[in-house]
Amino acid sequence: MNIRKSKPWNLPESAATSEGDYLNRRKFLKAVGLGSSSLMGGSIARAATAGFPSTKNENYLSEELEPTDFELIAGYNNFYEFSYDKGEVQKLANQDWKTEPWTIEIAGHVDNPMKIDVNDLVKKIGGVEQRVYRFRCVEAWSMVIPWDGFELSALIDLAQPNSKAKFLKFTTFYDPDSAPGQKGGSIDWPYVEGLTLEEAQNELAFLATGIYGKPIPNQNGAPIRLVVPWKYGFKSIKSIVKIEFTSKQPMNTWQALQPREYGFYANVNPKVDHPRWSQASERIIGSGFFSKRQETLMFNGYEEQVAHLYKDLDLRRFY
């Protein structure tokens, strides 16, 4: 008999909020004067990856994890392609930027390279499921997000990497005309991220096309983004146009910018501080002014699933 053992991060379906949050979100949008046809509402209606019903994956729901309100997930965004200002991204990402249609390219050391429409990709994979993950930003704040999408390993199986493939290099869209942040600044656009093949094959590595059962809002990385919950948020690259299987370790954007502060691995680690602030604890988004910080967990609470990937690695050096 197959008995499913409940793991520490597993939590029941009841934890994945939905209705109340949607209602709140509408109220919120109304209050700030955004009709449903303007901002997110509009983009959701015509977004790519609509029309895939999401089933909750019981292994990745959690009682102890209370999902963050949708309006905060969709309104508090680091997306420097649009703005350095977290509160401005939502507006700017829904002005000129089109996330549909969207083609994603799979290239490099694979037997099955392809350029494929993101909807066709989801169909090929066989639909989406919902997982509730912790999300920890390197800026020492955290959310809990019910993502809809599929395991990255499913895409790897589709691509069929050959023996030369050791890393995955992810690249974001580049379109300065519709993403004003890409017109300048100190970042060398487009944004690039990377994983080792082993990391990418881990059961937790996920490609998200939705949040709370709805297509992912533009500002959260429509139409498809990476989610690697045991790493700091900047590793979870948004709006992916290309996944390349490489033999050399890719140089990710933040490491290129400030190698002393951001590395390739960027695993959540309460024992290794950022040079300018502590990583031992985090502020919970939406918890209010007087709330205490929450202790940050090793690998963001996913130690059991990922610690073996790094058993031979000095995490102080390879931060």
Partner 1 sequence: MNGIARILRKRWLLYFLLCSPIFYVCTPQIQYDTEFRADPAKYLLDYVGLAATYIFAIVISITPLRRIFPKSGIVNSLAYHRRPMGVSVFVYAFLHFLIYYFYTGSWAEFVKDWEKLFILSGILAFAFLFLMAATSNNRMVRRLGARYWKRLHRLAYPVLFLIIYHQAAQEKTGFRETALIFVPVLALQFWRLVLASKAFLARRNDSANGAE
Contact status: 55 vs partner 1 (CB under 8 A): no
CA 26 to chain centre: 24
Q: In this structure, are residues 208 and 148 in contact, taking their beta carbons and an 8 Å threshold?
A: yes
Q: Residue 10's Cα: distance from chain center in Å? A: 19
Among residues 170, 156, 92, which one has the least CA distance to residue 121? 156
**Interacting positions 263-292 with partner 1 (CB under 8 A):** 273, 275-278, 280-281, 283, 285-286, 288-292
Least Å distance, CB 287 to partner 1, is 8
Q: Under 8 Å CB-to-CB from 101, ≥6 apart: which residues? A: 48, 117, 118
Residue numbers 68-97 binding partner 1 by CB under 8 A: 71-72, 75-76, 80, 84-87, 90
319 is a site residue for partner 1 (CB under 8 A):
no
Please, what is the minimum distance in Å from the beta carbon of residue 308 to partner 1? 31
Segment (H or E) for 159: helix 152-159
256 lies in the site for partner 1, by CB under 8 A: no
Locus of tokens 């100190």? 186
Contact 49, 119 (CB under 8 A): yes
- Is 218 in a helix, a strand, or coil? helix
CA–CA separation, 68 vs 102, rounded Å?
28
Each residue 211-250 as x (binds partner 1 by CB under 8 A) or -, in order, gives: ----------------------------------------
Q: Can you tell me the distance from the alpha carbon of 118 to that of 222, in angstroms, rounded to the nearest whole number?
A: 10
- Tokens representing 42 are 């509009």
Annotate each residue in 175-194 with x if it binds partner 1 (CB under 8 A) or - if it does not, as one string.
----------xxx-------
Calculate the alpha carbon distances from 109 to 6, 48, 245, 246, 296 in Å: 37, 28, 5, 6, 37
147 vs 254, beta carbon nearer partner 1: 254
Q: Is 141 in the site for partner 1 (CB under 8 A)?
A: yes
3-state secondary structure of 306: helix
**Min separation Cβ 24 and partner 1, Å:** 11
Choose which of 55, 103, 162, 258 interacts with partner 1 (CB under 8 A).
Answer: 258
Task: State in angstroms the smallest separation of the CB of 32 from partner 1.
Answer: 5
As a dihedral over the C-alpha atoms of residue 242, residue 246, residue 248, residue 253, rounded to 10 degrees, the angle is 10
Q: Does 22 bind partner 1 (CB under 8 A)?
A: no
- Residues 79 and 236: their CA atoms lie apart, in Å, by 11
Q: Which of 31, 53, 111, 248 binds partner 1 (CB under 8 A)?
A: 31
CB of 177 to partner 1, least distance (A): 22
Residue closer to partner 1 by CB (options 86, 166) is 86
Q: Which is nearer to partner 1, 187 or 315 (CB)?
A: 187
Task: Supply the Cα-derived Rg of the chain in whole angstroms.
Answer: 19
With CB under 8 A as the rule, give the number of residues binding partner 1. Answer: 36
Report, in Å, the least distance between residue 198 CB and partner 1: 29
Rounded to a whole number of angstroms, the minimum distance from the CB of residue 231 to partner 1 is 17
Instruction: Give the footprint of partner 1 on this chain (CB under 8 A).
Output: 28, 31-32, 71-72, 75-76, 80, 84-87, 90, 139, 141, 185-187, 257-258, 273, 275-278, 280-281, 283, 285-286, 288-293
